[in-house]
Every structure is written in structure tokens, then in C-alpha cells.
Chains A and B, each alone.
Chain A
Amino acid sequence: QQPVQSPQAVILREGEDAVINCSSSKALYSVHWYRQKHGEAPVFLMILLKGGEQKGHEKISASFNEKKQQSSLYLTASQLSYSGTYFCGTEAPNSGYALNFGKGTSLLVTP
């Protein structure tokens, strides 16, 4: 089952912050975050393992609450290069490390 992402789309001005949420109805072992530019392949940003850790990548960080089966991606001081579609991918226990992806959140950063 696909996880649910929100919001579906967001428009920011350069320098503003954004939060993208991902929730699952199934127990999770890990959550991945990817960014896809138009016409390109998804690119891995970070992985969060069961344990509620928070990780960071440049000015992009994420958290994972395995009790609520939810993850959030935080983009701070957004840059034009952050524009794209963000996908969360969830891994359930005993799933062979296969990911189920949400439908994506389209992010546009304007000057």
C-alpha cells in the first residue's frame, strides 16, 4: 500500500521553509526520501531507520516516528535548486527491502 504524502504541492519563495509529511497504515522498518527533477530519475536524499532518528543533508533534514508510522522532511532556507517532486518510500518488515512510494509532493521555489 502506498504511503500518503501531504501536501500535494507547495510553492515557496527562496529562503522560506517547508515541511513534507509521509504517513503509512503499516508498521515500518525504514523510510527513504528522494527528489526527482522533471524528466530525470529520482535521486536518494536520506534514509531513516526504525528508532526515531533524525538525519540531515545540507539544509534538508527528516524525522521518523515509527510509533505513528510517520515521517517528515524539513527544507529550511529553500534554494531554487530544491525545486522538484519529493517522494517518500517506505519499507515494511520482511518486505525484501522493496519500497512503496507515495504519490509525491511537487515543490516549486521561486526567486
Chain B
Amino acid sequence: NAGVTQTPKFQVLKTGQSMTLQCAQDMNHEYMSWYRQDPGMGLRLIHYSVGAGITDQGEVPNGYNVSRSTTEDFPLRLLSAAPSQTSVYFCASSYGGGYTFGSGTRLTVV
């Protein structure tokens, strides 16, 4: 099992560009979440999903969209990148116990 796979690992965007951060899990987990991690701020919840076709907003959803068309995939879209979105992004999944995190995507917006 690969667990939770995030791509890309690193990305540099120009202000105003859009992109999709990919997240895939092969554990048949129903629950998936996206977090951003900034120095001194901990992990902040962006969006989450309780199953295919069902998503909801977290604490900091502005500027991000998600969809969950399959159990395995939960992509995060940045609509128009801003420097404030420079961060490390983690995707995580769970069956209802502890969450398994992906290795993260380090995004820099210039």
C-alpha cells in the first residue's frame, strides 16, 4: 500500500496562476481532509470530505476549491494564487481512527 500520495512535492507559482494539488489514497478511507501548515500556526483545516460526492469547508477555505468524485482522490484547487497561500499543504485520510498524512506539498507563490 502506498498510503496517501501527494503531488507535486514542491511548486512555485506566480501570483494569479491556478493549479491543482493532487491527493490519492489506496486504503479505501471515507474521510479525507486538506490542511495548510504555516510557522507558528499549526495545522489549519481547509476543506474536508466524508465520502465521494460530499465535501465541506473548514477553517480557512477562501481561495480553495475541492471535489471528491471517487473515494480515492481528493484534489485541492487554487483558483488564483496569492502570496498569502505560500505554505506547506498536507492531505490526510482516515477510516474513523487516526489520520494518515501525505508527505506534503511545499508551495511558494511569488
Contact = CB atoms under 8 A, between A and B. Distances in A.
B23 to A, nearest CB: 12
Interface of B: 31, 33, 35, 40-45, 48-50, 56, 58-59, 90, 92, 94, 96-104
Nearest to A95: B48
Contacts of B96: 97
Interface residues of A, number: 23
Interface of chain B, main secondary structure: strand
Contacts of B59: 1-2, 100
Nearest to B57: A98
A97 B90 contact: no
Interface in A30-46: 32, 34, 40-46
Given A41-B101, A44-B100, A97-B94, A102 B48 contact: no
Contacts of A40: 103
Contacts of A97: 31, 48, 50, 94, 96
Nearest to B34: A98
A80 to B, nearest CB: 23
- What 8 A-B pairs have minimum CB-CB distances, sorted nearest first? A44-B98, A103-B42, A41-B101, A98-B48, A101-B43, A97-B31, A96-B50, A101-B42
A43 B56 CA distance: 24
17 contacts: A2-B42, A2-B44, A32-B99, A40-B103, A41-B90, A42-B99, A43-B101, A44-B98, A45-B98, A46-B98, A96-B50, A96-B56, A98-B33, A98-B48, A98-B58, A99-B33, A101-B42
B103 A41 contact: yes
A38 B94 CA distance: 23
A75 interface: no
Nearest to B103: A41
Nearest to A44: B98
